[in-house]
Structure 1
Amino acid sequence: MPAVSFQNVSKTYASARGELQALKGVSFDIQPGEFFGLLGPNGAGKTTLISVLAGLVRASGGRVLVQGHDVQSDYAAARRALGVVPQELVFDPFFNVREALRFQSGYFGIHHNDDWIDELLQGLGLTDKAGANMRQLSGGMKRRVLVAQALVHKPPVIVLDEPTAGVDVELRQTLWQFISQLNKQGSTVLLTTHYLEEAEALCGRIAMLQLGRVVALEKTSDLLRQASSNVLRFKTDQALPPELAAQARVTGRVVQLPAHNAIEVEQWLARAREAGVVAEDVEIRKADLEDVFIEVMERASGQVQEATP
């Protein structure tokens, strides 16, 4: 039995411009013990899908099951099996950290949970903040508390919706170390993130959404093997000529160009020299998940445009 099963899930919102279809027949299963990534650009439907899973939004069609429990008809059992870390920093300003975790335990009917709470506080680097009021915590510390609240009832399925957005490197490392340990112990993890290097390092399988549809669903290793090219990477202070700029991904001084072979590498560098572009720190690397993601999204966009009359 899958840990999570999305079965032809659709969601339509009413708007001033008419109906907006946020999800269009999304179907896939997440197996017990998987570390699964859900990726997509802003507006792809990721948060809507997570909201349907968590019972915050009712699907217009289809079913979502958590360990066999329907999130609508058997919502109590489905929600007990889930621990959801939301994007937004939501907290009660009247309690300290330990009190907040005790109250969260009480929501699930769990009493005398201090041993597990202590383990969460230690694992997430919150031990010295246990008596601090939630209002006194930094944004990163508040996010750690949200993770602890999601895990306080020991859910078999953990949902992380952009858990490291805007947090420091230390929190990322602490969080992933703790979550990876739970995953090795059998917990199922569903992660949405815009940090694709995290998804590449952590997720064994990935689904990519665009405009409410699944456009890729494969093992991470298989996605990387399907990358159509290597990448030429260099730094420059000059503006690229139009023919290079049209093909390049530019971040500050860093330029990245797809290169299928050595001949293409030479051609790109020759065109740069002809245009007076000085290339520094030149290197060729294997395509990573970000390259694959961009390729999949561009291909899916092309297919949508071809299908549009």
Structure 2
Amino acid sequence: MSPLLIFSLALGVHAQAAALSTTSGDPAPDRRIAVTIDDLPWQGIGNTADDDLAARHARLIAQLKLAGAPVVGFVNESKLEVDGRVRPERLAMLENWLDAGFELGNHTWGHVDLHEVGVAAFQEDILRGERQLRPLMAARDQAPRWFRHPYLRAGRSQADKAAVVDFLAGRGYRVAPVTVDNSEWIWAFAYERVLAQADPAAREATLERLRLGYVPYMLNKLDYYERQSIDLLGYALPQVWLLHANTLNADTYAELVAAVRRRGYRTIGLDEAMADPAYARPDGYEGRWGPSWLHRWAMAEKRPKAFYAGEPQVPRWVLDLAGLESE
């Protein structure tokens, strides 16, 4: 990527931030964001060699410490196992998160889709997903408090949603929604595919291009959801951000958080974000997918289609690197 193009990207992000914070002379919004990271101990763990996994995990933990933001990481316990047996070195990866002062939550055992398996099987997978988590946290006088739906699919009916929420409450969990949704996983998939390329020079040049493009993309997504919040609620909601435990974030996370802070955000804990009364609003979405909670609330209010326009998309060149036709 040429220096001019890098400068242009940075200038565009800066201009958007300035426009959002200075409209009509109003004071800048109270920008706060809680970081959540899914698919612990590692996204795509079965496709990562043990030595690479250890090194990349260590880089991610170092990045998390360097950034200094509160984080809740959501665990799929199936990723702890190989051939049905828990691998001690993978369990130790979760201990590293707790030792670093970060919180852990339940993401089901097998990252199962509620819409496919149904409520009863989903509840069983939630229980299976805390067999290691509860004792691990109890040893530190903690208990898992947060639950994240895989694929953000929370139920196709109000009855199913309520059944899951009530079940979770009985186990001491609260649902962790997501307001700043994104396709970070596509960037991460592209990054992994490029890492497998044979030519070192070409590989590093493309990895650098991905790293340089990733942060502005994520900031543009944040800008979009800030506008959505102001349009829907009249103020900047304390946002909940979705990321994943992967190599891309092991190489970029501290810079990503620094860029968000330059944007005017304070990183906060999930408890503080969820104290905002907007999170008590009804989830008006009963469709197939898993959209942002801001969009679910908009659907409950029957906002017109135009309300959702303008969401940033993954660039074509990144989709091509990921081997995908579309998002």
State the TM-score bracket (shorter-chain normalisation). Answer: under 0.3
Which of the two has greater helix per residue? Answer: 2
Q: Which structure is larger by alpha-carbon Rg, 1 or 2?
A: 1
Greater share of strand: 1
TM-score scaled by structure 2? 0.26
Structure possessing the higher relative contact order (Cα contacts under 8 Å, 6 or more residues apart): 2
